[in-house]
């Protein structure tokens, strides 16, 4: 009974922490090109880079790459 109470308490705590965890926000980085927009964010221990490339025809291409991985 005591073990069940401890497990349920840990489960409730884990659900609460997962609910309160901040979401990853994309931050815009400066570029010298008017056709390229670049955004970065941390997803866990991985730096992600998102580039939005605009062509002369008005089409947008989005490229997301995983950059530097931190310690595991």
29-72 pLDDT per residue, tens: 988 888 899 999 887 778 889 999 998 888 999 988 887 665 55
In a domain, 29, yes or no: yes
Taking the complete model, does pTM exceed 0.75, yes or no?
no
Per DSSP, 71 falls in state -
5-21 pLDDT per residue, tens: 888 888 888 887 777 66
pLDDT of residue 38: 92
pLDDT of residue 4: 86
pLDDT of residue 14: 82
For the chain, the C-alpha Rg in angstroms (whole number) is 20
In a domain, 36, yes or no: yes
Domain count, the chain: 1
In a domain, 39, yes or no: yes
In a domain, 41, yes or no: yes
Domain with 48, as residue range(s), is 24-72
In a domain, 11, yes or no: no
The count of residues in the chain is 72
């Amino acid at each position: 009974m005591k073990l069940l109470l401890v497990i349920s308490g840990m489960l409730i705590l884990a659900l609460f922490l997962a609910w309160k965890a901040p979401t990853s926000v994309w931050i815009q980085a400066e570029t010298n090109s008017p056709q390229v927009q670049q955004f970065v964010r941390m997803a866990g221990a991985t730096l992600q880079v998102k580039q939005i490339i605009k062509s002369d025809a008005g089409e947008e291409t989005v490229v997301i790459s995983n950059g530097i991985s931190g310690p595991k």
